[in-house]
Structures are given as structure tokens and as C-alpha cells.
A and B are shown apart, each in its own frame.
Chain A
């Protein structure tokens, strides 16, 4: 059974159809990359999977771990192992990153019937993971993302991901805004998490990230549909030829059939 099965997913926002029939199967152990031009619906797909209620699902279904994902509240999805690294991480003034993350860890533990982590155990866990993504531990005492630089915010997302240890991680343009060194550390954090139990969906515009996080599959999203899928070489091809090339391909294919 696949870890994630998206079938004919349609989603609207404010009367506009953004996702127009997405089909995607993700097995445990796989890394899928989603590419596509601005506005094609990549973030929308990520947010719909995470459960943002601004989107109205008009058709289709999503099965995660054998359960109806769309039927679950966002916090329940998170506790069941779905993690979204946001394209635009949100600031929460007055709430320290440590406090926030401990609440998150304990919510998940509670959900699985485990005891809550005490402050000491939690700090130990956090220290290890912060070192992994080279996140300055001073940031952990500051309010969540408040005044963080763009790169710090992205690093913080990957840091949270490694602490929360998800089953399905969705990374929405985690690479944008990162300098080359940061990109490598972030990729290292992600790769550490790769394993046979886990799957990842990595949204990016740049082939560069995929040099470090090598995907098993690459999909091209265009106007709310996956129009092309392939192996990791597809990303290289896209980089060289641009999205117009995909459009040409599709046209040619349509003419031939």
C-alpha cells in the first residue's frame, strides 16, 4: 500500500479552481520533487495536504496510511506524521521557539499515548537537532520566526521537521532564500531524515537543490495538473529547456495520439 495516494484532487479558492485533478502516488522510502512555474498550484497542493481550510475540495480523495486524509483536522494530520515546511514561515510574537516546539512535540506524543517530554529531555533532543542543521541555539529563545532572517526561517523549518520526526514531509521551496552553505546544511538535515519508513515531497524551482537531495521522481505541475513525470534527469532537462518545452512535449504527444 502506498503511503500517500492522491486521486483526481480538485481544489477551489474563492471560486477559482486551482487544483484540477491531481493524481500522485508516493510510497514509503521515496522522495518526490514537484516543480512548476509560479502560480501553478504547488503551494496549494502542499497546503491542501496539510489541511488549510481556505481551500474547498470539490472532487477527489487523498489516502494517507490507509486513512482518509481530507477527513482529518490539520493538527490530527500533523500528529499522524504529516509535516509541512512552509514557503513563508509564520511569526508568532511573544511565544518562544522552544516553548512552541515543546508544545508541538508533546501534542504528538500525547496523540500516540506517550508521556510528555520534560524540559530536560526536550532540551537534549533540541540541542542535537539544532546542531544537525547548524541552527544558532540563541534563536530558540526568541519568539517563533520573529525577526528571523529569511534563511534562519527556512533553517528553523527543517530544524522543527527533524525534531518532530515526520512520516511524510512536504517541503515548500525550502531552498529559496538560502545561501549555498545553508542549502547544503539544510539538505544534510533532510537527507538524515531519509529512510525506508518515510517519504518526502520537495517543492522547488531549482535543479540545484536536487543535486543535494536527489529525488526518486520529478513531477511537473502546470495549471493545477501534473503534466509530466520522470526520474531525476527530468529536473536537469527542465533547467536546460524551460517549461515551454514541457508544453511543446504535451502538444506533440496530444497530436500523436
Chain B
């Protein structure tokens, strides 16, 4: 295994050759992007050579690419040379010391969302030592998982501890050449999670709590890799309902999932990044590439997402159905209020025989929100007896919002069985009046109707998160009617 300090030494020797000037002791890189910055990031993380090489290849490729413009979103041009691509995780002494130092407004929202007291401090970024025993909780989890041979750690840790797995799988689902944002991520990714579930192991818990506690330090270019080996099962939950603020406006994450023979990966997301003010100022731009491969037969990948935050969401969690009899699923609720824009959906690529995919998308637009569903289903020539069911529903609340649907279907095998249903409805005056007439207040009626509309997706979420997701919609819709 390459020694991290060796790499650093080698790199230091190359300093002049590459004209590197950034102080390695610095907590942050200067703004801008060039090969030196990438070396700086890699050195800071004491990465082995192969990782640096990979980042550099990605960066060089990125230079040849242009930002995509096909999505149905508008935003001022991003100056990639203004962005700081590396800064050390916030030091404990810079964090709030206790909940007393946290913005009361934020705490009020946690309250509304029903987030357990024990988690509020961690979410608000209170120094970890001060947060109950979250560290020991995490350690307990890790121990339990370790006994089963499950690897669950930060991406950086995996690069050091399990370089053979990283080498084997990194970029196999989302290659570094994939798209502008994924390529950028490949060059500069900060951190993220790594999961490996060995043969035949069913992960006994949702991989979530631990992650939530650690969510603070993953940074704006998150990279996650999850591998379920033959017969393994894992359910992973990313994000949480608590509103997340970040100084960095641009977020470009990559998630890769690999399911081997008979394996199942369930990946659930709740995304509630800061959406910006009512004019859309200051919100997060969230450009995410998520893709899974059902690499062998009888494997299954299921994406469930509840997207309520960010000012811009650009995200298409997809599944490549390579193994025969494999199953891909996408369940999505995307809510846009205020000035939010979401262009989201999925791609299901059927390669193996008897492959099956299900797409259920629920878009809710309120305020001046714009919600676009973009979905692609491709049935390759060899994919005989493939099936797809797509249901794509939009709900409009108010007069100034919009819903758009772009389904793309490409079928190269005549035995394919395709079903597509779509609907757009305005939240019914009649439904609201009916609820009101029974004594239910307008806002409660709206959230009841909207939650009912999203039911098919919520029931795919792990139980506790389904409850949180409902509350989240309620809070996100506050003030959208009346």
C-alpha cells in the first residue's frame, strides 16, 4: 500500500516543476482551480499516488468540457475560479459551544420538524465533544458493523484503509469523464462515505444515524461509493430534514452504487439545503450525479428521494440494469417553493434480460417554484422482456409556479413492455374547501393533501424518515397559500 507521507514527500519534490506556491500548512486553498490546487487537496488528504493521478486526469478532462445548458433552470454564470476548492473541516473551537450559541430560529425549525433533542446539537454544528455521546454511539455502530465485515467509513478513510476496493470500483459507474459536474467532482472531491457489504451479509441497520452526525464535514464536493457484494443487502440514508446552510453555494456530489449478484441497495435521500430567500438569493446550487449499476443477475437498486431544499436542484439518480432479472426503482418527491428550481428525474438503462424498472415521480410547485421532471428509459437490443412503469404526477399550488415534464423513451427490443402515466393537477379548491368544511385549517389541509399526493413515495422511505418527510413538506409549504 502506498504510504501517504511518501506521497506527500514526492509531491513536495515536484513543487518547482509544477510551480506550486500554496502553503501546505494553510487551512484553505486560495480560490481558483488548477493542477496545483488539485495536488494541494490530494496532499492535504495524504492520498496515495493513484488517487492524485485520477484527480488530475479528471481535471484535464474537465478543461475540455463546457457546462451543460439543456436543463430547465436559470442561474447566473458560475465563476469556477472564484471557488475555494479546499478548506479544512471547521475546528472545534470555531463551532458553537452549546445550543445556547445557536441561532434560535434554526432551533425553532428543528422543533417543528420533530428532530430528537439529542440530534439537534450535532446538526447545528456544536463541537462534537459537547454533543452527548455521539462519538461513542458512532463507535458502537462501527463495532457492530465491523463484526459483520461491513465497511462503513469516510471516503478519505477508505482511500487509506481499503485502496484496493477504491481502485476496483471508483469511477466504474460514473466515470471521471461522465459530465461536467461529475468530472469537476472527480478532480476536487472533498469527502463522503464509503460502504462495502460483504457476500451474503444483510446490514442490520439503516446506515444513517452515524452518517447524520458526521454530515458536517463532507464539504461541497461529496463523493460516495457503496458496494453490495453477492447476496448482500443495505439501506442507506443520506441527508436529513434539518435545514442545512452552507457558505458554499455550489454543490456537486457524485454517488456510485454497485450491486452484485442477488444484492440489494436501497438509497434514500432527504435534501433540505438552504433554498434562498423569497427572491431566490443565496440558495444552494445542487448539481448531483447519482448512478447505480445492477451489475449481475437478480440485483436491485432503489432510489428514494425527497427534495425540498436548494435553490437549484439538478439531479437524476439512475440505474444501469446490466444483470438479467435486475430491478431498478426511482421514487421521488420534489417540492419547489419560493424561487426554487428543480430539474430532476431518472434514467433507467435496460441491458439485461427480464429487467424491470419503476419510476414514480411527484413534483409539487408552489410560490414561484419551477419543477421539471426529466426521465429517460432505454431498452437495449439484448434486453428482452424488459418492463418499465413510469408514473409522473405534478401538483401546482398557486398561480405563479410551473410544472414541466420531459420523458424520453428509447426502445430497441420489441418485447419490451412500457407503461407511462402522467398527470398535472392544481391543488383543488374543492378539496381544500372540503377539508375546511370539516374544520381543518387551510395550511393543515394543504399539507394533508400534498402528503396524500406523495404517499406512494413516502411509503418507500424507512419508517422514521417517512414521518420526518411529512413534517418537512409541511414546513416547506408554510405560507404558500392563503
Contacts and interface: CB of A to CB of B under 8 A. Distances in A.
Given A78-B438, A78-B439, A52 B433 contact: yes
Given A51-B437, A74-B436, A94 B442 contact: no
Contacts of B430: 90
Q: Interface SS of chain B: helix, strand, loop or mixed? A: helix
A39 interface: no
Interface string A84-104: 101001111111000111011
Interface in B405-443: 428-431, 433-442
A34 interface: no
Contacts of A103: 438, 440, 444, 448
B449 A74 contact: no
A157 B343 CA distance: 41
A92 B448 contact: yes
Interface stretch (B119-127, B238-246, B371-379, B450-458): B450-458
Contact of A74 (B437, B444, B454): B437
Contacts of A53: 433
A95 B448 CA distance: 7
Interface residues on B, range: 20 to 34
A143 interface: yes
A229 B435 CA distance: 33
A154 B357 CA distance: 40
A75 interface: yes
Interface residues of A, number: 32
A92 B439 contact: no
Given A54-B429, A103-B448, A107-B444, A93 B453 contact: yes
A95 B438 contact: no
B440 A104 contact: yes
Nearest to A77: B437
Contacts of B449: 92, 95
A67 interface: no
Given A53-B433, A79-B439, A104-B439, 15 more contacts: A50-B433, A51-B436, A51-B437, A75-B439, A75-B442, A86-B434, A90-B434, A92-B431, A92-B449, A94-B451, A95-B451, A100-B448, A104-B435, A104-B438, A164-B439
19 contacts: A51-B436, A51-B437, A75-B441, A75-B442, A78-B438, A83-B437, A84-B437, A86-B434, A90-B431, A90-B434, A93-B453, A93-B455, A94-B454, A95-B449, A103-B444, A104-B435, A104-B438, A107-B444, A160-B438
